Copies of this chain bind each other. A is one copy, B any other.
Amino acid sequence: MNTYGEKTGRLIEEFGRLPGIGGKSAQRLAFYIISQKPERAEALANAILEARRGVTYCSVCQTMAESDPCAVCGNVNRDPSAIMVVEDPRDMAAYERTNEYNGLYHVLHGAISPMNGIGPNDLRLRELLDRLRGGMVNEVILATNPNVEGEATALYIAKILKPLEIKTTRIAHGVPVGGDLEFVDQVTLARALEGRREI
């Protein structure tokens, strides 16, 4: 990186550490920052610092939030009898945008993935079990991702919840709305057939 100066090199290096940003993208971003007005660089730097300092974990659902409890857990109009288990705060945000769910959430911060060395103890499962012990919860909806890791995590959670005798459900698999059957993979097509319902 010493083709560029020390400061530019360091910025490229820092950008390159972000997920999904390769060497070329890091260079492009660094030169963009340098070519912008100083206010723009300061706005980005401040946003980074403030978000890092101001955002913490909700002690109830474990999502990233700026208040504890988070806006969802602190909302008395939400139904505390249902908990949707998701892998990531972004998944929670995705379900919030649907405006179709009024229960609470629980964010695992990951999924079981032996390939990446992530086991059940690396997820926020103890916190989930603590919440369920209160006896207020009638249903746990497993909304982990529809991939190998997400399915394994859902099965694992279903297994450990069995003794608690709480209704445990999994979100439906099927063809996405607005999709074209022709382009849907075989496994999804098979799952959609398997999950067919009378209309």
Contacts and interface: CB of A to CB of B under 8 A. Distances in A.
A3 to B, nearest CB: 4
The residue among A6, A36, A40, A48 with the most chain B CB atoms within 10 A of its own CB is A48
Interface string A132-173: 000000000000000000000000000000000000000000
Contact of A10 (B31, B51, B97): B51
Interface residues of A, number: 56
25 contacts: A3-B96, A3-B97, A5-B55, A7-B55, A8-B64, A10-B50, A10-B51, A11-B50, A11-B51, A14-B44, A14-B48, A17-B40, A18-B29, A18-B32, A19-B29, A20-B25, A21-B29, A33-B48, A33-B51, A34-B51, A36-B52, A38-B53, A41-B51, A44-B45, A48-B48
A198 to B, nearest CB: 35
A36 B97 CA distance: 26
Interface in A46-72: 46-55, 64-67, 71
B44 A7 contact: no
A54 B64 CA distance: 34
Given A67-B5, A89-B31, A14 B36 contact: no
Given A18-B29, A28-B19, A29-B19, A49 B42 contact: yes
A52 B178 CA distance: 45
Contacts of A52: 33-34, 36, 38, 41-42
